A and B are shown apart, each in its own frame.
Chain A
């Protein structure tokens, strides 16, 4: 399988649940990203990993916890979410971080609904 794969595609959870989103890339990329996409808003960068090390955390609430066990896999652990966290969560990867022509390859996203 090629590209960036995200599971699950859809997730409904209560505010007290714990769930995880998974992202996998088979492109040999070194950088992986989590973005939040809400309707009619710009993509919000949440976390960046470069060579498995977290390099950015854009003031994301602690109820979102990322994990990058290796350069091919990225997780987003969810705990005690709020209804306003309902959104599409996109995973992306790129060859590296910090160059101009840094093209991102995105997954199709996990649509999260928090009740």
Chain B
């Protein structure tokens, strides 16, 4: 079967760096997405990786290793507003999105 694994919850300190990991086993691969979802709000798109390597967007970076079935989202200079759930999703060979259960990130002052 197809599976996405990510930690259920993580805690980090304001101003620090946190890395949220995502491992996947899917039928084929057409890209990996990260979304951010604040409580009670819509998930919003953060990043898309289809080739190996690191994509940087301001304080957020996303890394992909297709051979290892592995990605991470790196958040630098954490701010209180980064407290949210982070959803990892992989598009399989049929262009179906397979979702992880999300990682709830708690930022402490």
Q: Which residues of A contact B (CB under 8 A)?
A: 4, 40-43, 45, 90, 97-109
Contact = CB atoms under 8 A, between A and B. Distances in A.
Contacts, number: 51
A99 B35 CA distance: 18
Contact of B48 (A98, A103, A107): A103
Given A40-B8, A41-B101, A42-B100, A100 B50 contact: yes
Contacts of B44: 106
Interface in B7-60: 8, 30-31, 33, 35, 40-45, 48, 50
A109 B42 contact: yes
B101 A104 contact: no
A109 B89 CA distance: 19
Given A42-B4, A42-B100, A102 B91 contact: yes
A103 B50 contact: no
Contact of A99 (B40, B95, B97): B95
Nearest to B41: A108
B31 A101 contact: yes
Closest A-B pairs by Cβ, 5 of them: A42-B99, A106-B42, A43-B99, A100-B30, A108-B42
A47 to B, nearest CB: 13
A100 B31 contact: yes
